[in-house]
């Protein structure tokens, strides 16, 4: 006889609890359990109770789920739009190029998930099974999880405050059936706030192998990246190195290289020196990188001759070397 | 209940228009557009009074862009004194968490509730005075900061409006769409969409390369029936200007108290900004914004 097991339900991020009254203020609201609409709701007591919570009950489950994941790498940057998601995707594709290497990508940018588009799987959905939510597979050995798969339409905005975002991140770690992985890459949103603190807190026990910090050459980006490195030091995450993106642009007309984002303060090289970190490499700005991301194809496979591909591959080799996996 | 006053509404009573600059995506140029908007509004009339509030708490860029890095905020009996970018003239007030940090590289590692409290203080405790425009620069996303802003300014909702900044790539447009959905959900009138980084002119041969593709912002505006304000190409001159704007670092912290020197420096920033090609492109955008603001707001008052 087959045992009937209860699948873990995939939540709809836009809804309030299914049994909530009509004007439910939302379980994360300050009025939860206290507003007029809450009178008579079955969950009122839970919402209204302010009892301090003990250690997160999810932690043991996360530890168990993560015990089959060999390496966990964060991709960070204080600044937005410097190419975190693009780099994460290339890194994922490069790892997965080896058929025997199992790779996972987890997108914790809840308000602006780009990973599904960049990997060309934007219209996929998450399925649930008895062993948890099944990631979306780009290829046999590259599984992806992102909030983008859970929205009815890509137009929908997720307007969540911190605690709700943290809840979803914990579920990504606890309820997703990652299986046995050689690498789990975590793509983060810009800044140093809830998402970053949560991922670090949840993975503390299982251990984070390191963080790759992405930047662009101009000072306005570098100052945010310095803050991100300061954050890594505060929470005790090893920084594997710094990647400089969008460095130099070769005009397709006259082949002259010019600096769109001028390294007025010495760029990533100076930053790495000042902070005592390794500069893993500089990737030139190639408009085809952005195009590939828009169309959801692998830049490394599409344009193997581009100088940017060489730069990417060198960086990825260096990361493997630092991790001792080369 | 609606007429109840809060410290925020009391403080914002003398502010005529609040423009929130947002975009779902990071690094598309919200801060530089905010800075340009503030500078252009400032230059629009010799008496225009403009404020710029940076609520990107974990990545404040405005102080550096306006050449105010290293300044501190002073307390007065009437609240925090904003840093004036134009010194003695005091027509361009600026406030950012960057002014509160002891060291500029310190990271601000805060969860939502703390960010919420900081934003409330920025709105209620800063002595903005009388302003024609308050430009608010936001972080990427649609989360704590955005919800807090709208929550705290609920009583002055009829004076709020938004400008959405995007770049032409599909990835950025998708996030901009989310941002637009957000403004609709919270019924925040949108003044229009600005497409940034639309093309790059090679300094060597003058050929225009669409580094991040082109036209996407305009298409989106048409599709969603939102005004399209204009495109701004990548302007390396502007990048350099906003990047290298001289800060007061290393100098005496009381620099802001020496109006002459500060005024002169900021005058230079404005003068240099007005020589960039972006300033010329920004002018019609600002004219449109100034023209539509009263219309948008009067329609917002009639529910």
Q: For residue B207, what pLDDT is reported?
A: 81
Q: Tokens 């919570």: give the residue.
A: A53
Q: Tell me which chain A residue has its CA closest to the CA of residue B244.
A: A264
Chain B residues closer than 8 Å to A194 by CB = 111-112, 144
Structure confidence by residue, pLDDT tens digits, B57-91: 999 999 999 989 889 898 999 899 999 998 888 89
Q: For residue B264, what pLDDT is reported?
A: 60
Tell me the domains of chain B and their CATH numbers: 7-301 (3.40.50.300)
A112:B26 CB<8 A: yes
Chain B residues closer than 8 Å to A110 by CB = 141, 143
In a domain, A276, yes or no: yes
Q: Which of B110, B142, B213 sits opposite A157 (nearest CB)?
A: B142
Which portions of chain B are predicted below pLDDT 50? 1, 247-259, 303
Chain A residues closer than 8 Å to B243 by CB = 218-220, 262, 264-265
In a domain, A16, yes or no: no
A237, B173, B187, B196 from B220: Cα distances, Å: 40, 8, 19, 14
What is the average pLDDT across A137-163?
Answer: 93
Q: Tokens 């192998």: give the residue.
A: A209
Task: Select from A47, A191, A51, A33 the least CA-distant residue to A108.
Answer: A191
pLDDT over 70 at A172, yes or no: yes
Q: Tokens 């310190």: give the residue.
A: B106
User: How many distinct helices (H) and strands (E) make up chain A?
Assistant: 11, 12
Structure confidence by residue, pLDDT tens digits, B179-198: 999 999 999 999 999 999 99
CATH of residue A157's domain is 3.40.50.300
Q: Which of A159, A224, A293 sits opposite B59 (nearest CB)?
A: A224
Q: For residue A278, what pLDDT is reported?
A: 97
In a domain, A256, yes or no: yes
Chain A residues closer than 8 Å to B244 by CB = 219, 264-265
Structure confidence by residue, pLDDT tens digits, A119-133: 999 999 999 888 899
Most confident of A56-60, A208-212, A256-260: A208-212
pLDDT over 60 at A175, yes or no: yes
**E-strand spans in chain A?**
69-76, 103-107, 127-129, 132-134, 136-139, 142-146, 181-187, 210-215, 239-244, 249-250, 257-258, 279-282
What is the average pLDDT across A258-272?
Answer: 91
Q: For residue A39, what pLDDT is reported?
A: 76
In a domain, A28, yes or no: no
The domain total for chain A is 1
Distance between CA atoms of residues B64 and B67, nearest Å: 5
Which of A88, A147, A223 is most worth mutating to test chain B (most B CB atoms within 10 A of its CB)?
A223
Distance between CA atoms of residues B191 and A30, nearest Å: 31
B13 is in an annotated binding site: no
In a domain, A4, yes or no: no
B205:A251 CB<8 A: yes
Q: For residue A26, what pLDDT is reported?
A: 66
B202 is in an annotated binding site: yes
Structure tokens, B296: 């948008």
Q: Tokens 């998601």: give the residue.
A: A85
Structure tokens, A114: 């780009």
Distance between CA atoms of residues B136 and B252, nearest Å: 28
Chain B residues closer than 8 Å to A258 by CB = 202-204, 236
Structure confidence by residue, pLDDT tens digits, A57-83: 889 999 999 999 999 999 999 999 999
In a domain, A27, yes or no: no
Distance between CA atoms of residues B272 and B35, nearest Å: 13
B27:A78 CB<8 A: no
Q: Tell me which chain A residue has its CA closest to the CA of residue B233.
A: A260
Chain-wide mean pLDDT for chain A?
Answer: 88
Distance between CA atoms of residues B227 and B245, nearest Å: 32
In a domain, A36, yes or no: no
Domain span holding position A155: 59-323
In a domain, A307, yes or no: yes
Q: For residue A250, what pLDDT is reported?
A: 83
CA A70 remoteness from chain centre: 17
């Amino acid at each position: 006889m087959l045992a009937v097991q209860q699948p873990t339900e995939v939540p709809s991020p836009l809804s309030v609890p299914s049994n909530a009254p009509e004007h439910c203020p939302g379980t994360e609201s300050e009025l939860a359990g206290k507003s007029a609409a809450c009178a008579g709701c079955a969950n009122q007591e839970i919402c209204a109770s302010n009892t301090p919570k003990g250690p997160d009950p999810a932690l043991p489950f996360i530890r168990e789920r993560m015990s089959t994941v060999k390496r966990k790498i964060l991709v960070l940057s204080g600044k937005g739009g410097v190419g975190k998601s693009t780099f994460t995707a290339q890194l994922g594709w490069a790892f997965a190029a080896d058929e025997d290497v199992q790779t996972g990508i987890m997108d914790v940018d809840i308000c602006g998930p780009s990973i599904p588009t960049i990997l060309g799987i934007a219209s996929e959905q998450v399925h649930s099974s008895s062993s948890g939510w099944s990631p979306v597979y780009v290829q046999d050995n590259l599984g992806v999880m992102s909030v983008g798969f859970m929205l009815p339409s890509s137009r929908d905005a997720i307007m969540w405050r911190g605690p709700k975002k943290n809840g979803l991140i914990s579920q990504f770690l606890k309820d997703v059936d990652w299986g046995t992985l050689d690498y789990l890459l975590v793509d983060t949103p810009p800044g140093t706030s809830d998402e970053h603190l949560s991922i670090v807190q949840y993975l503390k026990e299982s251990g984070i192998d390191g963080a790759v910090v992405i930047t662009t050459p101009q000072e306005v980006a570098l100052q945010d990246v310095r803050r991100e490195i300061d954050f890594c030091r505060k929470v005790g995450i090893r920084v594997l190195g710094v990647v400089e993106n969008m460095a130099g642009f070769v005009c397709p007309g006259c082949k002259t290289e010019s600096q769109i984002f001028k390294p007025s303060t010495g760029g990533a090289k100076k930053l790495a020196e000042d902070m005592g970190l390794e500069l893993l490499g500089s990737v030139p700005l190639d408009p085809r990188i952005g195009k590939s991301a828009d169309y959801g194809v692998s830049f490394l496979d599409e344009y193997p001759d581009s100088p940017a591909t060489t730069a990417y591959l060198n960086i990825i080799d260096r990361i493997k070397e630092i991790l001792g996996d080369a | 209940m609606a007429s109840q006053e809060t410290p925020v509404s009391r403080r914002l009573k003398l502010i005529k228009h609040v423009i929130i600059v947002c975009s779902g995506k990071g690094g598309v140029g919200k801060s530089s557009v905010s800075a340009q908007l503030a500078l252009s509004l400032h230059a629009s009339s010799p008496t225009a009074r403009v404020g710029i509030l940076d609520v990107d708490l974990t990545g404040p860029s405005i102080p550096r862009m306006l050449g105010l890095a290293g300044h501190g905020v002073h307390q007065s009996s009437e609240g925090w004194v904003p840093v004036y970018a134009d010194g003695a003239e005091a027509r361009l007030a600026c406030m950012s968490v960057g002014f509160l940090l002891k060291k500029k590289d310190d990271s601000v590692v805060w969860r939502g509730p703390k960010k919420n409290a900081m934003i409330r203080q920025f709105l209620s405790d800063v002595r903005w005075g009388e302003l024609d425009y308050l430009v608010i620069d936001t972080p990427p996303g649609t989360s704590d900061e955005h919800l807090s802003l709208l929550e705290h300014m609920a009583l002055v909702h009829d004076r709020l409006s938004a400008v959405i900044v995007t770049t032409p790539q599909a990835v950025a447009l998708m996030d901009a769409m989310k941002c637009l959905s957000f403004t609709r959900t919270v019924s925040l009138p949108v003044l229009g969409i600005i497409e940034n980084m639309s093309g790059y002119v090679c300094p060597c041969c003058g050929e225009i390369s669409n580094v991040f593709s082109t036209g996407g912002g305009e298409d989106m505006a048409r599709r969603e029936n939102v005004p399209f304000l204009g495109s701004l190409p990548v302007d390396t001159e502007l990048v350099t200007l906003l990047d290298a704007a001289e800060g007061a670092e290393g100098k005496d912290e009381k620099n802001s108290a020496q109006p002459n020197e500060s005024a002169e420096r900021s005058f230079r920033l404005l003068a240099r900004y007005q020589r960039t090609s972006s300033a010329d492109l920004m002018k019609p955008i600002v004219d449109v914004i100034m023209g539509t603001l009263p219309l948008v707001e009067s329609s917002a008052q009639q529910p």
